[in-house]
Amino acid sequence: MPHAAAPFVHSLFDAAALRQLEARATQRLGDGFELMRRAGRAAWRDLLAHWPEAMRIVVVCGPGNNGGDGYVLARHAKDAGRDVRVVHLPEHAPRSELARRAAEEYTGVGGRIAIFDDASFDDATSRLPPCDLIVDALFGIGLARAPDAATQSLIAAMNANDAAVFALDVPSGVDADRGCAPGAAAIATRTIEFIAPKAGLRTGAALDHAGTLSLASLELDAPDFEGIAVIAERLAATDLPNWLAPRPRDSHKGRNGRVLCIGGDHGSGGAIMLSAEAALRSGAGLVEVATRERHVAPMLARLPEAMAHEVGEADALHAALERADAIALGPGLGRGEWSLPLYERAIASGKPLLLDADALNLLATRPFALPADAVITPHPGEAARLLETTTADVQRDRFAAARALSDRYACVVVLKGAGTIVMAAHETPRVIAAGNPGMAVGGMGDVLSGVIAALRAQGMNAFDAAACGALLHSAAGDAAAHDGGERGLLPSDLMPWLRHFSNPEPNNPQPHSRETMR
């Protein structure tokens, strides 16, 4: 299993790893309270940096060490002359020794504590004291279930308040490993993570709860990370140059790969056009398109650089399959009499293969043994069909779903959605820290299929092509959204940005990251 040599912003961890790190740091420091002091101090500094004018601060504390971090922050706020009040549930008095110590230090300087229940406060709308900022210190990495009814009521009160919410380590109610919210969960404006980044905060529902992420390493040293398992790696647009180096001066089209795009049944010609154009914009030297006869002329009118030809039956694919360096199978393919023979013939070719859209639907109903280096790119609904489960189950644990797909179909998996996950056997999973809600529109997946197929044709292995392709696609989507807004974003809007980000240079602007490290 991969390990981290030192705290590294790209490495992501689970709760078990964080507990190991906390234990090691505590042993080295000789006092676990020092780590809590560092966490509370780091959170206070982050608060000052982003809400310097917040004078009335409510700190919602839980009974454990996350609550202890909140008490430390509250004492700093009290010492700074802020109007601060800790709020906790009747049953959430500090339980751990460290949390009790932090609470005693806070009350020892005159800090106020209010007990939360539905009738505690006069303000029936928020049910919390009037404030400029709420600090969420209810639960950290320890909660992996739906909160109880009383806690859900407190979380609902935080979310209903007009004040911003600043979460310590993990927004309460979010599963830090799986990224789901089993019940009510705090909706934070900003989350400061302690020690190391959590994998679950970068995919699925967690992205709607964590807000902007920052990291406070709490001064842990490299030896603290030795032997600690890395659960996943985070990829941002600034990582693209790791794969997309400038081309040699003597490059020619043959060296840059030939992609064959197969699809475009009646009524779905646009899908295969988008895939072909994306392959060209992502650097493929040659792109062939095998489609229905009626789509050939529109394809040539839109994209004369593509070599489009009519395929009436599977036998007509033979020569194109022989020429191809990589195949994008599925955009607009359909599931009828025309589609199935093309699907079977493409898989049987043994060529580097990407399956998307209707090819995935056919795979779910007519499973074939895929080539060892095949890539599949399901959205959660397609993933559910492939795993014979529900979309909700897929979203409940996206890492587990991606792993199950990779195991079942022995291939590389790109599980699309918020926080796209790239998974393959014997590889550290990768999470794409790019993309936006504007990309939730028909045709975006067709673009992605062309991008990944182009990178395969240019010589990348399947796992790198899937990761780089998903990242390139998401970075282009972010740039296009920044240029004109998320709502109304079209897949074709990505095309010039695919070319831009396929040529990463120091002077090329990169999308702004929503993560910082302190």
Starting from the edge strand earliest in sequence, which strands make up the sheet with 133-137, in order? Answer: 112-115, 83-88, 56-61, 133-137, 164-168, 190-194, 212-216, 515-517
Q: Which amino acid is at 305?
A: E
Q: Which residues pair with 3 in a beta bridge?
A: 229
Distance CA 500, CA 486 (A): 19
**Residue 71 phi, psi dihedral angles, 5° rounding:** -65, -40
Taking every pair of C-alpha atoms in the chain, what is the biggest distance, in angstroms? 83
Distance CA 184, CA 63 (A): 18
pLDDT of 506: 53
C-alpha angle 459/464/469, rounded to 5°? 90
**Residue 131 phi, psi dihedral angles, 5° rounding:** -160, 165
Contacts of 72 (CB under 8 A, 6+ apart): 36, 37, 39, 40, 41, 43, 44, 102, 105, 106
User: 127-131, long-range: CB within 8 Å, 24+ apart, which pairs?
Assistant: 127/157, 127/160, 128/58, 128/60, 128/87, 128/157, 128/158, 128/161, 129/56, 129/58, 129/85, 129/87, 130/56, 131/56, 131/57, 131/58, 131/85, 131/161, 131/163
Distance CA 97, CA 494 (A): 54
Q: Which amino acid is at 184?
A: A
* Torsion sign, CA atoms 115, 117, 120, 124: positive
pLDDT of 20: 96
Q: Which amino acid is at 181?
A: A
Residue 193 contacts residue 200 (beta carbons within 8 Å): no
Run of H or E residues at 233: strand 232-235
- The model's pTM: 0.94
Distance CA 466, CA 471 (A): 8
Distance CA 188, CA 184 (A): 13
pLDDT of 6: 37
For residue 397, how many other CB atoms are within 10 A of its CB? 19
Name the burial class of residue 459, with classes exposed (0-12), middle (13-18) and buried (19+) by CB atoms within 10 angstroms of its CB: middle
Separation of CA 335 from chain center: 31
In order, the DSSP letters of 37-105 are: HHHHHHHHHHHHHH-TT--EEEEEE-SSHHHHHHHHHHHHHHHTT-EEEEEE-TT-S--SHHHHHHHHH
State how beta strands 212-216 and 228-229 pair. unpaired
* Torsion sign, CA atoms 496, 501, 506, 508: positive
pLDDT of 514: 59
pLDDT of 511: 53
Name the burial class of residue 507, with classes exposed (0-12), middle (13-18) and buried (19+) by CB atoms within 10 angstroms of its CB: exposed
The domain 3-230 is placed in CATH, from the list 3.40.50.1860, 3.20.20.80, 3.10.620.30, 3.40.50.10260, at 3.40.50.10260
3-state secondary structure of 372: coil
pLDDT of 516: 60
Name the burial class of residue 153, with classes exposed (0-12), middle (13-18) and buried (19+) by CB atoms within 10 angstroms of its CB: middle
Consecutive sets of 10 residues in the chain, 518 residues long: mean pLDDT of each?
A: 46 96 92 96 98 98 97 98 97 96 98 82 62 96 89 96 97 96 97 97 98 96 92 96 91 93 96 98 98 96 96 93 98 96 96 98 94 96 98 98 98 98 98 98 98 98 98 98 96 98 70 56
3-230 and 238-244+257-506 agree in CATH topology: no
Q: Which amino acid is at 416?
A: K
Tokens 């095998």 belong to residue: 290
pLDDT of 248: 87
- Note the pLDDT tens digit of each residue in 290-309: 999 999 999 999 999 999 99
Distances (CA, A) of 205 to 200, 271, 482: 9, 28, 23
- Note the pLDDT tens digit of each residue in 134-186: 999 999 897 888 999 999 999 999 999 999 999 999 999 999 999 999 999 99
3-state secondary structure of 479: helix
For residue 356, how many other CB atoms are within 10 A of its CB? 29
Distance CA 90, CA 281 (A): 60
Tokens 């056919």 belong to residue: 362
pLDDT of 8: 43
Q: Which amino acid is at 168?
A: L
Distance CA 450, CA 357 (A): 12
Sorted by where each begins, the domain ranges of the chain are 3-230, 238-244+257-506
**Residue 298 phi, psi dihedral angles, 5° rounding:** -60, -35
Residue 326 contacts residue 257 (beta carbons within 8 Å): yes
Kindly report the CATH class assigned to 238-244+257-506: alpha beta
Separation of CA 102 from chain center: 34
Q: Which residues pair with 355 in a beta bridge?
A: 329, 376
Distance CA 194, CA 112 (A): 26
